[in-house]
Structure 1
Amino acid sequence: MFRSIAVREKKLYVGNMKQISFLAVIGCSIFLAGCTSKDEFVSCPAISAPEQGTRAYVRSDETRQVFDVRLNGVDAVCTRHKSGGTKIALRTGLKVKRDLAAGAGNDTLSLPLMTAIVDRNQAVTANEDFGYLIGFSKDDAVKYPVVEFEQIVPADARLVISLKPAY
């Protein structure tokens, strides 16, 4: 049976391409296997906010205008920490509102927040204060920023988050 040279060359080309493609897939698989996460996801400890800490009135930095700030939800992803505790990656939603009749210009707001770690005996074992800066453009009345932070909570403890009034 007669075969043309073009068919033979095409078969050799396709065979080589299949082999190269297979090697490329194996190489990419090995490369991407190094990117897999080794974190062990666990259920989160209790996260709460006292009623008094879910709403605060804060004066702005520039115009001294009073802003109404509220906690607007929490989302957390928890992983096992090498200390035996839980590492919490927390996203806290806020609702920040101002009265445009009292001022509608550009402004910034330094929002004070705090966290506390409470053990099983209801004793505060650690606390931390931190701030979050929010910018308001002219005529912005409401913003919904999300504050992201991480906290390590020991076993058998819970996390309390709160706004701090700065009126």
Structure 2
Amino acid sequence: MPEHSPAPTPHRAIYGFAFYFLFTVLFFIYVAWAYLPVELGLHSHLPDKYFAAFVPVLIIVGAAFAFIIYPAINLALTPNIDSIASVVDLKLTLPKGSKFTSWSQLQHPRAEDVDPQPNATAPVQCNLCRITHRPKTRPPIAPLRFLDLQEVNATFFDN
């Protein structure tokens, strides 16, 4: 059985010449339709000359939107690589109306900053930041929130 290869074979050469000849003839018919006057009597069977300019422009504009304008819009809406918004969704982490100023806004509050709760447990020494924290009591299903990278790393990689 012969292997499939891109090498020219007789039937590929014949089909290639036929397609080349077909599209050359179609191009010359298109140019003749676009430039010849309408008085030849065929204007009732052919589309309007307006389409001779409209169809190529439509194809070019469609290609420009698909390959240039839409990707440019997406790149313009993407935050810079140095921006905090490329790492954290600030709408989930900060209170409504507040502006991001430092990373400390995204960290959990320390035990000294939080009012003690009536049923709070004893403070716990944190292995990551070496500060005493008071464990929080949370509902069984936590609301949508920012997952701190330290918290994720402590959960998965802490010994």
Structure number with larger C-alpha Rg: 2
What TM-score results when the alignment is normalised by the length of structure 1? 0.29
Higher RCO structure (Cα 8 Å, ≥6 apart):
1
Between Structure 1 and Structure 2, which shows a larger proportion of strand residues?
A: 1
Between Structure 1 and Structure 2, which shows a larger proportion of helix residues?
A: 2
